Amino acid sequence: MLLWQLGMALLAGLVFLAWGRREAVAAAAGALIVAVGTALMSARTFSGLGGGGIALAHLLTGMILKWIVVLGGLIMILVQYKLPPLAAITGLVAAYAVNLLAFRFKG
C-alpha cells in the first residue's frame, strides 16, 4: 500500500504540474505526508511481539502517530510554506483513496 501511495504522490504532482510548479509540489507533498504517516503507523504496529493487548496498544499509538504526522504536515504545507490548499488537499485525498481501493479489491 505504501508503494501505491508513493505512486499516487508522483501522479498527483505530475497532474498538478499543468497548473504550475507550486501546485505540483503541494499535491505531491499532500500525498507524501499520507505515505509517511502510513509508513510510521506500519512500523509501530508491526514492531515487537506480544499478546493482544500489546498489539492493540501498538496499533493505537501507530494511528495517533499517523494523524500527528498528517495534520502536522498539512499545517506545515499550508501555513509555513504557503502552498496552494486545493492542490495539497487533493493530493492528501488521492493518497487516502488508494487505501479505499486497496481494501476494496484485496480479495
Task: Render pLDDT for 80-107 as a digit per residue (tens, 0 to 9).
Answer: 999 999 999 999 999 999 988 887 876 5
Confidence band of 50 (pLDDT split at 50, 70, 90):
confident
State whether residue 22 is helix, strand or coil: helix
Question: What number is the average pLDDT over the span 70-74?
Answer: 98
- Structural domain boundaries of the chain? 2-104
Residue length of the chain: 107
Q: What is the pLDDT of residue 102?
A: 81
C-alpha 73/C-alpha 1 separation (Å) is 20
Amino acid 18: pLDDT: 97
d(CA 38, CA 65): 9
Q: Who wins on pLDDT, 4 or 100?
A: 4
Q: What average pLDDT does the segment 32-61 reach?
A: 93
- Spatial contact of 9 and 77, defined as CB atoms under 8 Å apart: no
Q: Would the pTM count as exceeding 0.85?
A: yes
Distance in angstroms (rounded) separating the CA atoms of residues 4 and 106: 13
Residues 12-41 pLDDT 10s: 999 999 999 999 999 999 999 999 999 999
